[in-house]
């Protein structure tokens, strides 16, 4: 009898301890930061795949290889201080840090900005001419081929099926009001100036002249035609990625702060891209926070730049049955 009792007790203990054990294991659905910890650089170098190594180097040292710091003028394709990784964070694998895993299979793809089906090389050139304030890279060049190879290689780091995919950017709840530029300036000094500096010009490494903290406005930043120059896009990027080092699981800024600070940085002077009026040939497809005209509505340029966006979103819903999220 005593023996049966003991067996019973030990089984109960076993049961409870396994419940506690299971409970303390990270739950599958919460491994959202999955690929963050990987050392991509080490993996690239280990591969000994020369094309991959070149693609990776172009992606992470863009300004030196094919930008303003390239020694040959014909190699100066980008026109600012940024690297691809300034925005495609953690070498292009940060969930909601505009990761580039899983991108290759989504192209060719329809794009509203050009109103046509475009290839991945053309999409990359969208970032070359806007985010990087440069000219287009020859689609048949060795450089483009290496970048495509690297982006395709990133597919292996796609989060497993049961984990949040994390592609693109994570939406925020847009405050239903105009951006408050004073609050944005305050949030900037409090949360951003430490690295990007009070004047937004970032900071170079004293050793090799490479920016450790990239500029957010001015001549060396993205131009006014870039996706990052839209308040909604910038607010989503900032909320879930800045101050640098945070994961989207644990943001520091509130939606209000991200919105105001995004409005603040995008009101500063930056390179201007020509012929922007030709973007979005089908005007009703233009994202609501695109800062430059023309628009298919009568809201002011200022409202497109600083909100409130809810009335614009409601207008397209009612008039064209289009649900706009950006
Ligand atoms: C200033 C920030 C910035 C820089 C620098 C930048 N990009 Fe982008 N990139 C973006 C934004 C914003 C998007 C659109 C994301 C969205 O709307 O979800 C994007 C989208 C892309 C896409 C399409 C992704 C998809 O999911 O469809 C590719 C490919 C890409 N960029 C490649 C590059 C390459 C290669 C470079 C370097 C030559 C580069 N980008 C530099 C901001 C940037
Ligand atoms: C701890 C330093 C640090 C802080 C604080 C910080 N950033 Fe960044 N930020 C970075 C780094 C580093 C990058 C580039 C990422 C890379 O190269 O891996 C970056 C990239 C960016 C980019 C995209 C690239 C560009 O230059 O446009 C934007 C936009 C940005 N930060 C905005 C902000 C805003 C807004 C804040 C404040 C809310 C902020 N950052 C706070 C370090 C920081």
Domain range list for the chain: 36-157, 181-266, 276-320
Are domains 36-157 and 181-266 of this chain identical in fold? yes
The pLDDT value recorded for residue 162 is 82
Average pLDDT, the chain: 91
pLDDT confidence bin for 184, thresholds 50/70/90: very high
Which of 154, 157, 145, 156 minimizes the C-alpha distance to 50? 145
pLDDT for 36: 57
pLDDT of residue 32: 43
Distance, in Å, from the CA atom of 107 to the CA atom of 114, rounded to the nearest integer, reads 15
How many CA atoms within 13 Å lie on the side-chain side of 309? 24
Q: How confident is the model at residue 98 (pLDDT cuts 50, 70, 90)?
A: very high
Identify the pLDDT of residue 208: 85
Residue having the nearest C-alpha atom to atom 37 of ligand 2: 192
How does residue 33 score in pLDDT terms, banded at 50, 70 and 90? Answer: very low
* Mutation pick for ligand 1 pocket among 59, 68, 87, 225 (CB with most ligand atoms within 8 Å): 87
Using the predicted structure, report yes or no on whether residue 154 has a pLDDT greater than 50: yes
Q: For the residues 105-119, what does the mean pLDDT come to? A: 93
Average the pLDDT over 250-262 and give the result.
Answer: 98
Confidence band, pLDDT 50/70/90 cuts, at residue 163: confident
Q: Between residues 27 and 150, which one has the greater pLDDT?
A: 150
pLDDT greater than 70 at residue 101: yes
Q: Is 227 in the pocket of ligand 1 (CB under 6 A)?
A: yes
User: Average pLDDT, stretch 192-206?
Assistant: 97
DSSP 238-272: HHHHTTTT--TTS--S-HHHHHHHHHHHHTS----
| Centre of ligand 1 from the C-alpha of residue 124, in Å | 7
- 181-266 CATH choice from 1.10.760.10, 3.30.300.30, 1.20.1600.10, 3.90.650.10: 1.10.760.10
13 or 89, higher pLDDT: 89
What class is the 36-157 domain?
Answer: mainly alpha
For a ligand 2 pocket test, name from 242, 259, 267, 271 the mutation site with the most ligand atoms within 8 angstroms of its C-beta. Answer: 242
* CA of residue 168 to ligand 2 center, whole Å: 17
Whether 131 lines ligand 1, by a CB cut-off of 6 Å, is yes
In angstroms, rounded to a whole number, what is the distance separating the alpha carbons of residues 29 and 9?
A: 33
């Amino acid at each position: 009898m005593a023996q049966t009792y003991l067996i019973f007790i030990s089984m109960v203990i076993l049961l409870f301890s396994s419940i506690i054990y299971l409970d303390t294991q990270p739950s599958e659905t919460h491994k959202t930061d999955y690929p963050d910890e990987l050392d991509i650089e080490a993996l690239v170098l280990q591969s000994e795949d020369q094309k991959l190594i070149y693609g990776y180097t172009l992606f992470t040292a863009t300004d030196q290889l094919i930008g303003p710091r390239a020694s040959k003028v014909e190699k100066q394709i980008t026109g600012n201080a940024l690297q691809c990784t300034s925005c495609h964070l953690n070498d292009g694998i940060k969930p909601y840090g505009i990761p580039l895993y899983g991108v290759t299979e989504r192209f060719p793809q329809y794009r509203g900005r050009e109103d046509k089906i475009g290839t991945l090389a053309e999409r990359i050139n969208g970032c070359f001419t806007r985010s990087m304030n440069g000219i287009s890279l020859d689609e048949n060049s060795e450089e483009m081929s290496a970048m495509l190879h690297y982006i395709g290689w990133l597919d292996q780091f796609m989060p497993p099926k049961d984990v949040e995919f994390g592609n693109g950017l994570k939406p925020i709840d847009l405050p239903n009001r105009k951006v408050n530029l004073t609050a944005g300036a305050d949030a900037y000094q409090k949360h951003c100036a430490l690295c990007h500096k009070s004047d937004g010009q970032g900071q170079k490494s004293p050793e090799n002249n490479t920016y450790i903290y990239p500029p957010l406005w001015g001549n060396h930043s993205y131009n006014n035609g870039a996706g990052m120059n839209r308040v909604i896009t910038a607010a989503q990027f900032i909320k879930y990625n800045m101050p640098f080092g945070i994961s989207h699981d644990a943001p520091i800024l509130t939606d209000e702060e991200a919105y105001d600070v995004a409005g603040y940085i995008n009101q500063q002077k930056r390179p201007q891209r020509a012929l922007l009026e030709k973007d979005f040939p089908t005007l009703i497809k233009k994202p609501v926070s695109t800062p430059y005209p023309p628009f298919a509505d009568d809201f002011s340029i200022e409202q497109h730049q600083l909100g409130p966006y809810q009335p614009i979103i409601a207008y397209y819903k009612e008039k064209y049955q289009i649900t706009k999220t950006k």
